[in-house]
Structure 1
Amino acid sequence: MCPIWPLHLIILYILALCPLWVLCQSAPNLIATFLPDEISVNMDEYHYVNVTIQGPGMQAGDQFTLSTTNEHLAEAKWNSTDQLTEDHVQKNLFEGKVRVSGKFLGRTNVEVKTWRAGQAFPVNGTLPVIVLRPERVIDTIFVTSVATFVSLIFINFGCAMHWPTVKDVLRRPIGPLIGMCGQFLFMPLMSFGLGFAIFPNDPAMRLGMFFTGVAPGGGASNIWTFILGGNLNLSLAMTSISTLASFGFMPMWLFSLGQVVFRNAHIVVPYQRIATFVIGLLVPLGIGLGMQKWTPKIAKFMVRILKGFSTTLLLFIIIFAIVTNLYIFELFTWQIVVAGMGIPWLGYSFGYFLAWLCRQPHADSLAISIETGIQNTGIAIFLLRYALEQPEADLTTVVPVSCAIMTPVPMTCIYIYQKVKACFVNRGKHKKMLEEDISPRGDSPQPAIISTADLYGKSNKGLDVIDVKPDVENSGVHPTGVSVAN
């Protein structure tokens, strides 16, 4: 046994730790201080920050490098020298300037490291960076133009509305009641459960889904109902009732299940935004109804151009929205795509199935289905802007944006199917008409061929035949058929 046991174990540990202790003594112990200590920078823009590094262990020739925890969001570069000199070592102080460039939405940190003889040593202190989306002129143009065109389209709807039919709908509100069950019962519960299934560890994204599910029906539902041949009067009545009912149903869901989704969110119900939407819906409808009464000729013209104008408006909104928000596609993942498809598509299916169970006609079932599936994503985005700070507010709007992009897909497929089917049906009818014109009809009378024997013989009994005597003298032909020589 070793005579110094167990002291030899302690000696071995000390000998092993001595090189590490020497290295630690030679490593710099530096602290970086940034001014300002936190910055917000817009995408594709940059911001300058002053940095001060001080502490013992500096050596001439040491080099500072910059990096961000997420290079996709922001980039940091020196705008001054990044190498220590003897003057820095004597003062134990380094001062420089950093240029931080925003690349994409999100939060990241700028970190500093010291490089010495090919080895990196971390510097204490980081700079939090928030990258935001700038307010652009094209966004204002898009919102203004869409609001103007939607107002015009609702004037057209007012011209096309048949008020006695709307009164009948309100007297027997079976369709609106079915739509409200789908809009304010199924959609919130479905978006709540689907959000937990798709984003189990991301409460902000779940909040984005839930806000989309509790929003009232969108104005595009009336346009699609008209284009696809649904009951427009029922759709307009349901949209008006749904929007008015949202004043009560939205706060109920937001302050119940909304608190479960995201307990720390300071939710503010946008009553002013909803009221503006109601006014923006009812005033153009009233103008259209007035045009029916006082300017019937102009109203008829507005109805004639309604379908083409509606289709053009939908294409304009879809294309312009994609062009102005191209950046949002970088946030798309399979979860975002599934969430965008699930909210409207499940709403379409449930609305039509519930209407079918209640034995509603196809035109009414189609209107109820579209009204249930199409959500007012603008109100959902507005709610997120109030409930969350930036950039989380912009990041979570990817859910209602995805929903808005996926919403018209089934409707577009149905529209194309209707057009293709109509082409084949019309082609078949045209072909059948041609065949009927060419082929003889069995019930049509055939021209009778009467022989000479029937005219002059005894076989024509029962027929009143005019006695026609041929001019033998001039014809030179005997009645028996033998020619007579002059």
Structure 2
Amino acid sequence: MESAVIGLLLLMGSASAWNVTFSSPNVTIHMHETLCVPFSAPVNAADIIDGILTASSSRDSVASVPNLPVLDPSDVEDSTWKSCLNITANFLGRADVVISIASSAGNKSSEALEVIVIREERVIDTLFTVCVAVLVSVLYINFGCAMDWDICQRTLKKPVGPTIGFFCQFLYMPLLSYVIGLILFPDDAEMRIGMFFSGVSPSGGASNIWTALLDGNLNLSVTMTTISTLAAFAMMPLWIFTLGRSIFHKGDLVVPYSKIAMFAVSLIVPLAIGYIIQKKLPRVCRLLVRILKPFSSLLILFIIVFAIVTNLYLFQLFSWRIIVAGIGLPWLGYLFGMIVAWVLKQPRPDITAISIETGVQNTGISIFLLRFSLPQPAADLTTIAPVAVAIMTPIPMTIWFIGKLINDRRKKSLAASSEKLRSSADPIPTIADADKSTRTDGSA
């Protein structure tokens, strides 16, 4: 039996071409699963030569071939070997699998089988999306209660702040994301696409949260976010189909206008509800305004933790370049927005709002566009960049907020100490008091 198996194995190297036929030119496998892919190969008995059969993958990190198929004489029918190749999906991506034979007559390989590894959709992904949508809606109702609508109207009549924000958001940030991607990922088109989509996205709702927590101009921040979201209808396709063409060579990306419109409405409707509460239910309005800051802090913490847990698998691809890119886009955005607003002599609360509005990108929009515009696994792989940006974005704001809390507590402590000293100190004697004391003693 063993000699027959060896003989059949050796016979396979005699053909002029190693004509292995897979059941399909490509297969799709879920991550961490193993799939048995049928194949057939001719067995030519005309020439007998020494040969060694192997199977290999172009990217073992994506897909590997742990078990080589065993050539069994019972699998040979009409001079054709029919068997099954086990392929294990290790991580997202694409890999080519070939079956080769090495012999004294030379090395021969089959046509490549394209293996596409994708991620299985999970319940936690849907749960995360629903939770964030509900919590953000509640938060924007609070914003609607807290806003001074008269100030918003005056802001739009003299839109200096929104104009600065629009310039920073839709000119500086797209160009910055393009340059960062070009420098850090010159040969990785998927990462460059992810960075560019992050840069062309509108400002995120988290900018309003941080503006409120850091005593910035909340009315200006919400006005800028609304304008930025509506402007994204035109600006995102403009950038994607112009400068984005140099990264993504196909011009058939479908930008989901209806989804962006839904996001804009989801931003405006809660604000309108908050406005109605402010006008009709003043007691409820005061309660919502009182819990705005603690609720905002909890929401930020929830989103960060839940996002990390939901996308934990992507950390396997994190490298120093991805971390630097995630830091560079928002942090340089903060700095540029602050400098431009300061040079144009804006008030301190406006500088805070413009700086935060520039640096905070709506990575949810970029992730949505990438996942619904690109095929898998590119849809997931490109989201590494916006996920990195989302994780790194809050760091400077968190440090700033903690410093602010410490400083505020120190000021309160000093004020309390000063008040205590003033109330407990003995009156300082005066000359009049001394004369009065002397007269009293003399009379005695």
Would you call these one fold, judging by a TM-score over 0.5? yes
Contact 2:12 2:44 in 1 (8 A): no
Contact 1:336 1:399 in 2 (8 A): yes
Q: What's the secondary structure of 2:288's corresponding residue?
A: helix
Q: Residues 109-142 of structure 1: CA distance to partner in whole angstroms, max 9, x if unpaired?
A: 223245889x996542332100001111000000
Contact 1:34 1:52 in 2 (8 A): yes
Post-superposition shift, 1:74?
1.9
* Pairwise CA RMSD: 2.9
Q: Residues 206-263 of structure 1: CA distance to partner in whole angstroms, max 9, x if unpaired?
A: 2222221111111111111001110111111111111112222222222221223323
Q: Residues 69-96 of structure 1: CA distance to partner in whole angstroms, max 9, x if unpaired?
A: 22221233459x60344x6679543222
Is structure 2 residue 119 aligned with structure 1 residue 130?
A: no
Q: Residues 49-75 of structure 1: CA distance to partner in whole angstroms, max 9, x if unpaired?
A: 112122336879987443322222123
Structure whose CA Rg is larger: 1
Gaps of 5+ in 2: 1-9
The aligned counterpart of 1:9 is: none
Contact 1:63 1:83 in 2 (8 A): no
The amino acid of 1:345's aligned partner reads W
Change over 3 Å in CA distance of 1:169–1:453 after alignment to 2: closer
Q: Tell me the distance in 1 between the aligned counterparts of 2:248 and 2:305.
A: 33
Q: Tell me the distance in 2 between the aligned counterparts of 1:123 and 1:257.
A: 40
Contact 1:267 1:386 in 2 (8 A): no
Q: What's the secondary structure of 1:360's corresponding residue?
A: coil
The aligned counterpart of 2:215 is: 229
The aligned counterpart of 1:54 is: 42
Aligned counterpart in structure 2 of residue 101 of structure 1, from 75, 88, 100: 88
The amino acid of 1:106's aligned partner reads G
Is structure 2 residue 391 aligned with structure 1 residue 391?
A: no
Aligned counterpart in structure 2 of residue 317 of structure 1, from 303, 312, 316: 303
The aligned counterpart of 1:40 is: 28
Q: What's the secondary structure of 1:31's corresponding residue?
A: coil
The amino acid of 1:281's aligned partner reads L
Structure-to-structure mapping, 1:474-485, within 5 angstroms = none
TM-score (norm 2): 0.88
Gaps of 5+ in 1: 1-23, 457-486
Q: Tell me the distance in 2 between the aligned counterparts of 1:111 and 1:255.
A: 37
Contact 2:97 2:112 in 1 (8 A): yes
Q: Residues 384-409 of structure 1: CA distance to partner in whole angstroms, max 9, x if unpaired?
A: 23543321221111111111111111
Contact 2:101 2:109 in 1 (8 A): yes
Q: Tell me the distance in 1 between the aligned counterparts of 2:248 and 2:103.
A: 47
Contact 2:13 2:103 in 1 (8 A): no
Q: What's the secondary structure of 2:20's corresponding residue?
A: strand
Q: Tell me the distance in 2 between the aligned counterparts of 1:197 and 1:135.
A: 33
Contact 1:59 1:89 in 2 (8 A): no
The amino acid of 2:55's aligned partner reads L
Contact 2:204 2:360 in 1 (8 A): yes
The amino acid of 2:313's aligned partner reads Y
Q: What's the secondary structure of 1:314's corresponding residue?
A: helix
The amino acid of 2:33's aligned partner reads E
Contact 1:40 1:130 in 2 (8 A): yes
Contact 1:199 1:205 in 2 (8 A): yes
Structure-to-structure mapping, 1:343-382, within 5 angstroms = 343-382=329-368
Aligned counterpart in structure 2 of residue 76 of structure 1, from 57, 65, 71: 65
Q: Between the two proteins, what is the percent identity of the paired residues?
A: 44
Q: Residues 436-482 of structure 1: CA distance to partner in whole angstroms, max 9, x if unpaired?
A: 445434268869656886225xxxxxxxxxxxxxxxxxxxxxxxxxx
The aligned counterpart of 1:461 is: none
The amino acid of 2:401's aligned partner reads Y
The amino acid of 2:126's aligned partner reads T
Structure 1, 166-175 or 314-323: larger mean CA deviation:
166-175
The amino acid of 1:35's aligned partner reads S
Q: Tell me the distance in 2 between the aligned counterparts of 1:41 and 1:25.
A: 32
The aligned counterpart of 1:13 is: none
The amino acid of 1:47's aligned partner reads L
